[in-house]
Amino acid sequence: MTTHKRDYYEVLGVSRNSSDDDLKKAFRKLAFKYHPDRNKEAGAEDKFKEINEA
């Protein structure tokens, strides 16, 4: 079984030395963009789950 580790900073599109505030802003921006109630595109729900995991 292969373990695939995700780089959560990459998922959120921020650098590893980003401030907590920058992380929160990036999360909110992406969560709003990919929320299943707002985005009905294929794959949006999976992307939203990935963002929440990060």
pLDDT of residue 3: 56
Does the domain at 8-53 match CATH 1.10.287.110? Answer given as yes
Q: What is the mean pLDDT of residues 21-32?
A: 96
Two tokens, residue 20: 């907590």
Where do the domains of the chain lie?
A: 8-53
- Report which of residues 5 and 29 the model is more confident about: 29
Radius of gyration of the chain (CA): 12
Average pLDDT over residues 25-46: 93
Q: What is the per-residue DSSP string for 1-54?
A: -------HHHHHT--TT--HHHHHHHHHHHHHHH-TTT--STTHHHHHHHHHH-
The amino acid at residue 45 is E
Mean pLDDT, rounded, for 30-46:
92
